[in-house]
Amino acid sequence: MSLPQELQMKPMSKPHQATVYSYKTQPVSLTQDMVKFQIPASGIMSSGGAYIEFAFKPKDATFKAFPPVSIGLHSLISRVRLLTQTGRVILDQRHWNKKQVIEKASRTAEKNHFVHRYFEGSGFAFKVVDEQAVTSGDRNTLRLCGSSSTGMNYESNQPLYPLHVDKKAQQFRVTLPELFPFLYEHQLPVGIMENLYIELFFERDTAVGKVVCCTALNTYVPGGEVETTSCFLMSDHLIYDVPEVMANIEAIQEQQGGIAFPYQDYSVQIQTEAGQGATDLIHEYNRDMGCDNYKLCDIKNMELTSLTTSPSDIFGFYYSKTRCGSFKTLNYTINDVNLYPNNNAEPPEIFDRLKEVYGADPSIPRPLFMVGERLNDEPLSATVTFNGHQMKSLSNRMNVHGVYLKDIVNKELQNGNQPIRVYYKSTTTASKQLDDGSDAFDKPFTNIFFVTYKREFAVAKSGNVLINEFS
């Protein structure tokens, strides 16, 4: 199915005049666990002008909190769903806040124009000032990119805590393309679709680092809350002045039996492993990750000490690291149907006996490999602080990994009837193995894998949404 150019986020060959109507929509329901919005069913929703705002306030008036520097107050959003009034779920994205550790680190210029760091409370766009460019007192100081070298020194004597509750709760923003990335490329004709709903599920502020971080000279107080009166959906809707435009869209919908929207979804694999022995220098394991018969786009990985303990002082639970100065490798095997077409077929009878003997399905996996090493502390210094925390603690805390699975013509890798398998190996040295911190080789650790794959949904002539697990 072809998609009308009016529903694509790119310049049109024949622009048309349109009237833009802006809607400020209050939640259908709102609790401390989730908020639900109904998207106004009017015209074509502009993806570039749609966002949700919310406010968060720490529990105690003396608690000086700040958002995790890596992802800002997007830490509050743990799960996102886009669904229809008939209950069909187009997207259900779990651990969305964890995934932002990778997304914000790898955000392209094409996607950057949809957002701004101040709207999310994130200082992720930071840089370490060139030692030769500033005076000695400002060396190795964390700054926001684009900021001047004066007035932005986040040393302990100039702390940054935008959530200090001497003021009212602060507003934060998340754009709809960030929540549902297919909106970077498409616009939805909500006026001819069944009603759509957005659900955001909130992370509860029960431990430091889950939602907010705490300054070094302050005591964390749990129980921060979403302001129930400050949450709304803002969306711009296009109504073309020439009736023929919408008539053309409806004609294409009639001719094709619907309008199809390709999009990317992801599955999440969480693998928690116990630490190694006191003298072991190698840790390796392998696991199946499912995704049989999916069209794969990429695999992204982040590694944490734990989902519930040992948060980073500045990044909270939103970081990715390698352990104890180790050399980490990830190797994937995928049953590539494009490369080996027979892998997608039912195996011949002759292979049944081989399977019994060798205990493996007859397939030719395609290996994919990536590697990472713990980063040095330099130029981060233990004597320079951010809200009282040593900036040295940031080292090795944004060591994300990913492998791109599309070819040069942007075609996804078609996985066959075998699951993806990951082979993890981490190697350290005797001197580094003695690290007694949370990164020590004998401590447990958790790997989170996000496997992105292609899907499709279509808007039928009746306006109903039809969803395909595959594309």
Task: Say what the pLDDT of residue 382 is.
Answer: 66
Checking if the pLDDT of 374 tops 80, the result is no
Q: Which residues pair with 20 in a beta bridge?
A: 238
The CATH number of residue 382's host domain is 2.70.9
Give the Cβ contact number of residue 127 at 10 Å.
12
Pairwise CA distance, residues 387 & 218, whole Å: 10
Q: Please check whether residue 462 is in contact with residue 192, taking contact to mean a CB–CB distance below 8 angstroms.
A: no
> Domain tally for the chain?
2
Task: Say what the pLDDT of residue 434 is.
Answer: 61
Q: Are residues 409 and 322 in the same domain?
A: yes
Mean pLDDT (the chain) is 79
Q: Are residues 218 and 281 in the same domain?
A: no
Checking if the pLDDT of 437 tops 80, the result is no
The range of the structural domain enclosing residue 223 comes to 1-121+162-256
CA 386 to chain centre: 25
Where are any strands of DSSP class E within 129-212?
142-144, 170-175, 196-202
**Would residue 314 count as lying in a domain?**
yes
Pairwise CA distance, residues 234 & 262, whole Å: 25
Q: Are residues 175 and 287 in the same domain?
A: no
- The SS3 assignment for 119 reads helix
Token reading at 308: 């519930």
Task: Say what the pLDDT of residue 365 is.
Answer: 60
Q: Are residues 1 and 114 in the same domain?
A: yes
The amino acid present at 223, given as its one-letter code, is G
Q: How confident is the model at residue 436 (pLDDT cuts 50, 70, 90)?
A: low
Q: Please check whether residue 194 is in contact with residue 84, taking contact to mean a CB–CB distance below 8 angstroms.
A: yes
CA 445 to chain centre: 20
- The model's pLDDT over 47-97, given as tens digits with 9 standing for 90+, comes to 888 999 998 888 776 667 788 888 888 999 999 999 999 999 999 999 999
The CATH number of residue 9's host domain is 2.70.9.10
Q: Are residues 45 and 175 in the same domain?
A: yes
Q: Which helix (H) or strand (E) holds 260?
A: strand 259-273
**Would residue 311 count as lying in a domain?**
yes
Taking residues 401-413, report their average pLDDT. 82
Distances (CA, A) of 166 to 57, 162, 194: 10, 10, 44
Pairwise CA distance, residues 199 & 245, whole Å: 31
Q: Are residues 266 and 251 in the same domain?
A: no
Q: Are residues 327 and 192 in the same domain?
A: no
Q: Are residues 201 and 66 in the same domain?
A: yes
Task: Say what the pLDDT of residue 220 is.
Answer: 87
**Would residue 447 count as lying in a domain?**
yes
Q: Which residue's structure tokens are 């400050």?
A: 230
* Torsion angles phi and psi, residue 341, rounded to 5: -55, -35
**Would residue 469 count as lying in a domain?**
yes
* Higher pLDDT, residue 324 or 444: 444
Q: Are residues 322 and 404 in the same domain?
A: yes
Strands in 282-288's sheet, in edge-to-edge order, are: 282-288, 421-427, 327-334, 366-373
**Would residue 153 count as lying in a domain?**
no
Q: Are residues 252 and 275 in the same domain?
A: no
First-to-final CA distance of the chain:
12
Pairwise CA distance, residues 375 & 173, whole Å: 32
**Would residue 141 count as lying in a domain?**
no
- The model's pLDDT over 249-290, given as tens digits with 9 standing for 90+, comes to 888 888 888 899 999 999 999 999 887 777 788 888 999 998
Checking if the pLDDT of 162 tops 70, the result is no
Residue at which a domain ends, from 205, 225, 256? 256
Checking if the pLDDT of 130 tops 70, the result is no
* Higher pLDDT, residue 344 or 248: 248
Taking residues 220-247, report their average pLDDT. 89
Q: Are residues 275 and 237 in the same domain?
A: no
Pairwise CA distance, residues 364 & 340, whole Å: 7
Cis before 40? omega within 30: no
Residue at which a domain ends, from 212, 229, 256? 256
The percentage of the chain sitting over the pLDDT mark of 70, rounded to a whole number, equals 75
**Would residue 155 count as lying in a domain?**
no
The percentage of the chain sitting over the pLDDT mark of 90, rounded to a whole number, equals 34
Taking residues 221-239, report their average pLDDT. 90
**Would residue 362 count as lying in a domain?**
yes
Task: Say what the pLDDT of residue 147 is.
Answer: 40
Taking residues 335-350, report their average pLDDT. 59
Pairwise CA distance, residues 417 & 361, whole Å: 10
The amino acid present at 368, given as its one-letter code, is L
Q: Which residues pair with 52 in a beta bridge?
A: 174, 233
Q: Are residues 23 and 87 in the same domain?
A: yes
Residue at which a domain ends, from 256, 282, 316? 256
Pairwise CA distance, residues 340 & 417, whole Å: 12
CB-side neighbour CA atoms (13 Å) of 209? 18
